Amino acid sequence: MLREQSEFISKLVLCIDGAVVASSFAIAYVCRDYLDLRYLHPLPPLNEYLPMLILLIPLWIILLKAFGAYGSMREKGFGKIFWSVFEASLVASFAFATIAYLLNLDILSRSFLLLFFATAASLLLVEKSLAFLVLRNVRRKGLNYRVMLIVGSGPRALNFARIIESHAEWGIRILGFIDEPEMMGKAVGSGRVIGTFDDMARILDENVVDEVIFIMPRQWFDRLENYIKICEKVGVKATIAVDFFDTAIAKPGVREIEGVPLLTFDSTPRDVVFLSLKRTLDLVGSAVGLLMLSPLFLAIALAIKLTSRGPVFFSQIRCSLRGRPFKILKFRTMVVDAEARMKELRKLNELEGPAFKIKNDPRITAVGRFLRKTSLDELPQLINVLMGDMSLVGPRPPLPSEVERYERWQRRRLSMRPGITCIHEVVARNNKDFNYWMKLDLEYIDNWCFRLDLKILAMTVMTVVRGTGC
């Protein structure tokens, strides 16, 4: 019954969100049409704009789902809901604007699009906020609650129960705890042990229980199968807490291969939707970038050819994801025998650790110095991004010789696809501490989100405009 209600509510929310997007479209059209501004051209008839809703409504709903705006609000904070809607709206705006540009939709008014996206984001935020506030108040009053039974009564179970009890707005009631016979009747926080393992079937039969949480020591796992089957038989959700391994970084997740469920501990971002969105941005960004910057590529190529001997491009073996070798592309900024002269300059290295960098490198050409200062020498790496060896944002790809000298903790830097730009390129480019670079890259990996990539890209553009490269 609860599942049927949940599915009905989910479908209802989708319909409401679709109606909000459609209403925002109409409001934006009317408002833009009535704006009495001389520099704005009149909009085409509404019937020429309406077909766009066929794309816009599904696009918005898919992105709202991808960014976590759907599902139960029970354990979500308002901030999480706000950012889910805001980010989904921002990406929807960017995605639709890109599609409109690629399809050359001349009838689209930019002022209308801006007004529409702002209206849709605002109304969706109001809708979600009202739903959140109403549900929170309802649950605080003891309505719309779920009943939970906890298996285990140790410190982990007690800590979990305290978290639940501190959030009355989640609407979760703890029926009690199940443990060994000697713990029967003993208090666990504000609750108590109401039964042993042998009592589980009876407790589920005699009480309303929506979910059983297993927070038990690892040595009890041989019993687990039987108790999960007891829950399965009566249709009660069984959830296992997997915080029994003391991993500082790796986070648990569940996946399935040909029907075999696997518990995975991964120290890298694993959100498939957002990683797919990151790759989509890489493909679109690199393709559009190569197309739009082709005149600049030609100008740089001519400047290199006319001022120094050697090829336009410089390629070098670097390490990609997990250490996979690939050929990185750059505009050549050094003399042709730069690699051969590396050994004699190694003693002048200004960086700590395996990386190499000197301020006034005599191998850099005049044009190369300008290209490096403006970071324009990195532009050919858009080809590497398009081919999948790199991303627009990520730790910079190291040389194999550098990787050989990595300390063990530094190798985790290879756990994410390397990028054209990275966090230390925009906030610590002149810092010569190699370990500091490493720590920034690992912080990027540990705290990665799509919003962080957009922020780094924006900061990179400002760095290029200011010409604060090396």
- Gyration radius of the chain over CA positions: 28
CATH number of 146-244: 3.40.50.720
Instruction: Check the CA dihedral 266-272-273-277 and report its sign.
Output: positive
CB distance 145 to 172 below 8 Å: yes
Looking at residue 334, the DSSP 8-state letter turns out to be B
CA dihedral 227, 228, 229, 234 (to 10 degrees): 100
State how beta strands 211-214 and 251-257 pair. unpaired
Report field, pTM of the whole predicted structure over 0.85: no
CB distance 266 to 251 below 8 Å: yes
CB distance 441 to 424 below 8 Å: yes
What are 368's two structure tokens? 């190369």
What are 229's two structure tokens? 């089957």
Residues with Cβ within 8 Å of 338's Cβ and at least 6 positions away in sequence, in order, are 363
Domain locations along the chain: 2-140, 146-244, 272-466
Per-residue confidence of the chain (470 residues) as pLDDT tens digits? 445 555 666 777 888 888 988 898 888 888 876 765 555 667 777 777 788 888 888 888 888 887 777 766 565 666 777 788 888 888 888 778 777 777 666 667 777 788 888 888 899 888 888 887 777 777 676 666 889 999 998 889 999 999 888 877 777 889 999 999 998 988 888 889 999 989 999 999 999 999 999 998 888 888 888 999 999 999 999 999 887 777 778 888 787 888 888 888 888 887 777 888 899 899 989 999 999 999 999 999 999 999 888 899 999 999 999 999 999 999 998 887 767 666 666 666 656 666 666 677 778 888 988 998 888 999 999 999 999 999 999 999 999 999 999 998 999 999 999 999 998 888 766 666 788 888 999 999 999 988 899 899 988 888 777 765 55
Task: Give CA 376 to chain center in angstroms.
Answer: 27
Query: CA-to-CA distance for 355 and 439, rounded, in angstroms?
Result: 14
Identify the residue whose tokens are 């939707």: 273
Q: Of 153, 148, 149, 159, which Cα lies nearest the Cα of 220?
A: 153
Consecutive H or E run containing 299: helix 294-307
Query: CA-to-CA distance for 322 and 416, rounded, in angstroms?
Result: 7
The phi and psi torsions of 452 (rounded to 5 degrees) equal -65, -40
CB distance 418 to 309 below 8 Å: no
